Structure 1
């Protein structure tokens, strides 16, 4: 049993002294702080999965309908950027934001053509910049705001969706990284 816990600890990227608990930072209200901890935990695991990839691996397509690792990271950033404007500004993307994010949101043929030739760090830096902005915006809100609705969903549910979206794509990224060409 101890060996199993050690393996789980290593897979989750925790150190041996970490507690298996969600402990929000004092910079945020309680519920928002919990969400930030969970979002950052998932982001860290995504980064550990892909941060070492070379260019060929970053751009690799497992088949003609797949997405590259780079495109998926861009997609995660785009989704989070969308929920920033949706929950904090109660709007959709404007024209300039659509230009930057729409292809990554939709993925597909256009993304397969557009998102290649950039190192994995390019995509991780984009993801990091979006997350930094999310965390700054969330610092200005409290749990009352988190419970309020934007459209049909509460802000809490919207950010839960961002988190579950990351988790789903983390599984996809894990699958893809196990099938990448070996480094030369």
Structure 2
């Protein structure tokens, strides 16, 4: 019986390891949306894993006066995803309050370099995760017909918009990894 238990435990670990490296439909979503959710979640897991152990000094590190801080980049990822939430789910752009909340993070640059420093990693990750949780909840309410649709007045379908969010996060994850490699040795 102990051997059967050990084999079952190894099998479960094997499935878990295999499943985390799989892209495809997810339970609770239509096939195309579920596949996108698996890709979005893979990227967010990699962003979180990459930054989770960074201290404030590392999050605030600035390679030069044109570079972005890692903290600013995490906020930028959250802001961009929040924008695509209203853009695709509500067919609008940010309202006044949303612009005030997200515009510095959306634009990066000097303002973001000034605003996003002195904060710990949980500050950034809590915001980043909250935005993703909302995205997942909203995507659960949609189907593949919505995903393929082109909202009136737009030149892209919803699938492309969320593909863009995914590839945007991938691009900035590359920046984060580069900055992380350039962190001064302590």
Query: Post-superposition shift, 1:45?
Result: 0.6
> Quick check: 1:152 aligned with 2:155?
yes
Give the Cα separation in 1 of the matches to 2:55 and 2:24. Answer: 35
Structure 1 segment 1-184 matched on structure 2, within 5 A: 17-18=17-18, 20-150=21-151, 151-183=154-186
Counterpart Cα distance in 1 of 2:159 and 2:90: 15
In structure 1, distance between residues paired with 2:155 and 2:145: 17
Q: Could you tell me which runs of 5 or more consecutive residues in structure 1 were left unpaired when the two chains were aligned.
A: 1-13
Normalised TM-score (structure 2): 0.88
Gaps of 5+ in 2: 1-13
Q: Could you tell me which residue of structure 2 aligns to residue 7 of structure 1?
A: none
CA distance in 2, matches of 1:71, 1:90: 27
Which structure 1 residue ranges, 4+ long, deviate > 3 Å from structure 2? 14-17
Deviates more, 1:15-24 or 1:42-51: 15-24
Q: Secondary structure at the match of 2:54?
A: coil
**More relative contact order in 1 or in 2 (CA 8 Å, sep 6+)?**
1
Cα deviations by residue, 1:108-165 (Å, 9 ceiling, x for unpaired): 0011111111101111110000000000000000000000013110000000000000
Name the structure 1 match of 2:5: none
Q: How much is the aligned-residue C-alpha RMSD, in angstroms?
A: 1.5
* Bigger helix share: 2
- Give 1:182 deviation, angstroms: 3.0
Aligned length: 170
Report the structure number with the largest CA radius of gyration: 2
TM-score, normalising length from structure 1? 0.89
Distance 1:116 1:133 in 2: 25
In 2, the alpha carbon distance for the partners of 1:30 and 1:15 equals 21
Task: Give the superposition deviation at 1:174.
Answer: 0.6
Q: Distance in 1 between matches of 2:107 and 2:15?
A: 36
